[in-house]
Amino acid sequence: MHFSEQQRFLWVRGSIYSILILAYMSVFFHRMAPAVVSADLMASFHTSAATLGSLAAMYYYIYALMQIPSGVLADTLGNRKSITAGNLVAGIGSIVFATSETIEIASAGRFMVGLGVSVIFVGLMKNNAVWFRDKIYGLISGFTVLMGNLGSVLAAKPLSALLNLWSWREIFIAMGIVSLSLAALTLLFVRNRPEHAGFPSLREMDGMDSHAERHQHWSKDLYNVISNRTVWPGFWINFGMAGGLFAFAGLWAIPLLRDSFGMNRDDASVYTTITLISLAIGCLFAGWISDRIGLRKPVIVFSATVYTLSWLALIYIPWQPGLLAMLLFILIGITSGGFVVTYPCAKEVIQPALSGMAISLVNTGLFLGAAIMQPLFGWVLDLGWDGKTINGINVYSWENYQNAMLLMLAFAVIAFISALRVKETRCENLTL
């Protein structure tokens, strides 16, 4: 392409990426917001910890179930249609959640949000696979998750501040309107491939033949992905490391700091904000370092090792809110960012045309882990609860939380063992 055509390509690619990143930020906001509004939800619906965990996890249940279908949709229907529909459903679901008067209707709204946003990440990663070159895929994966995590950051301290001005219901109505707007932008401007926007494919730009397209029914392609053993370690890494962290930061970290150390919501949300910022930075650096050294496995193994040790420290080292607590929360955040390297690993052990399905399989582990951990953590809390309440909100002891965090440690060990089984790709597709 000549210079002006190259500029047009960069503009179109940047516009598409920006729209999808905004949608992805909304995914993270919806995912993490229940942690900050947990007390409001308990008071509004008069729930126990286990019921609150189940309400928050409703998002994760459907998200986890939808990951494989999301990969199929990305590889068959295309990103434009699937993400447009996803934003539309999520927007309606957020408004239903915000206007609900019963826990059942709230759960239905949360279910719709999870259903809608479930297609966005896999579609975005599929978009990256066809609009960005392989040699920077680790970096772009890390940057993508970093940008998405800004949505998590907005769902922490800024959301806590907003709750002083607006009710939780008004905030979720506003988020519903944002998702509906993103649906319109996706339909108008997103294109599935460079060829659909009038450009040659990236490989053709580099003087090579385009990747082969899918040539059989999607069910056979999906079987090929699921039966590929080299894809599965990434599933369990995401299950144990990212899934556990999202469950903790997305719901239980603020109640832990509130009940165990008497912190108010605004002060406690600073810790979850720091954790999520550290996660975002960890994702960016893990992807960049992996591309830089030309290896995947060492980055993942190192991250899983230090992440597991961090949970041991958080459970057994005596700590109080302050510098040590900040360092521990930063450590679990930044080391968990190594999970992002599982996405290039998945893409590089399968045919390029099936990258959406491979990424979706790995991503399923994350949300299955979070869906299991959120109510399980709450169940352990309720198991040791002494009946104490303040203003209608259940209050749990440090010992209750310590027992529940042993689950986090067990999940981390699963991730560590799985990291040792990752197949090294040296940042190249092994099927070509």
- The whole-number pLDDT of residue 155 equals 78
Task: Tally the residues of the chain.
Answer: 432
Residue 160 Cα distances to 24, 28, 164, 254, 326, angstroms: 21, 16, 7, 11, 19
Taking the C-alpha atoms of residue 381 and residue 403, their distance in angstroms, rounded to an integer, is 8
Is residue 387 packed enough to be buried (19+ CB in 10 Å), middle (13-18) or exposed (0-12)?
Answer: exposed
| Predicted confidence (pLDDT) per residue in 156-188, tens digit | 778 888 888 999 999 999 999 999 999 999 999
3-state SS assignment for residue 405: helix
Q: Is the pLDDT of residue 288 over 80?
A: yes
Q: Is 189 exposed, middle or buried (0-12, 13-18, 19+ CB in 10 A)?
A: middle
How high is the pLDDT of residue 39?
Answer: 81
The per-residue pLDDT for range 94-135, each reduced to its tens digit, is: 999 999 988 889 999 999 999 999 999 999 999 998 899 888
**pLDDT confidence tier of residue 429, bands split at 50, 70 and 90:** confident
11-194+218-419, CATH topology level: Growth Hormone; Chain: A; (1.20.1250)
Most confident of 18-32, 197-211, 382-396, 401-415: 401-415
CA 231/CA 227 separation, integer angstroms = 9
Cα dist from 389 to 217, 237, 325, 385, whole Å: 56, 37, 26, 10
The rounded mean pLDDT for the chain is 90
What totals of helices (H) and strands (E) does the chain contain, helices first? 20, 2
Region 75-81: mean pLDDT is 90
- How far apart are the C-alpha atoms of 162 and 182, rounded to whole Å? 22
Structure tokens at 290: 């992996």
Per-residue pLDDT band at 200 (split at 50, 70, 90): confident
For 206-252, the pLDDT digits (tens) are 777 666 666 678 899 999 999 999 999 999 999 999 999 989 987 89
Identify the pLDDT of residue 314. 96
Query: pLDDT by residue (tens digit) across 79-89?
Result: 999 999 999 99
Give me the mean pLDDT over the 279-296 stretch: 94
Q: How far apart are CA 313 and CA 331, in angstroms?
A: 10
- Is the pLDDT score of 333 beyond 90? yes
pTM above 0.85, yes or no: no
What integer pLDDT is reported at residue 216 of this predicted model? 78
Residue (of 128, 158, 151) closest to 141 by Cα position: 128
CB 351 within 8 A of CB 432: no
Contact 415, 304 (CB under 8 A): yes
Domain boundaries, the chain: 11-194+218-419
Cα 170 to Cα 176: distance, rounded to the nearest angstrom: 10
Q: Which residue has the tokens 């990143």?
A: 21
Q: How far is CA 316 from the centre of its chain?
A: 28
What is the residue whose two structure tokens read 């309720």?
A: 382
Most confident of 51-55, 310-314, 360-364: 310-314
- pLDDT per residue over 6-60, tens digit each? 889 999 999 999 999 999 999 988 877 877 788 888 888 887 777 887 887 788 7
Q: How far apart are CA 97 and CA 89, in angstroms?
A: 12
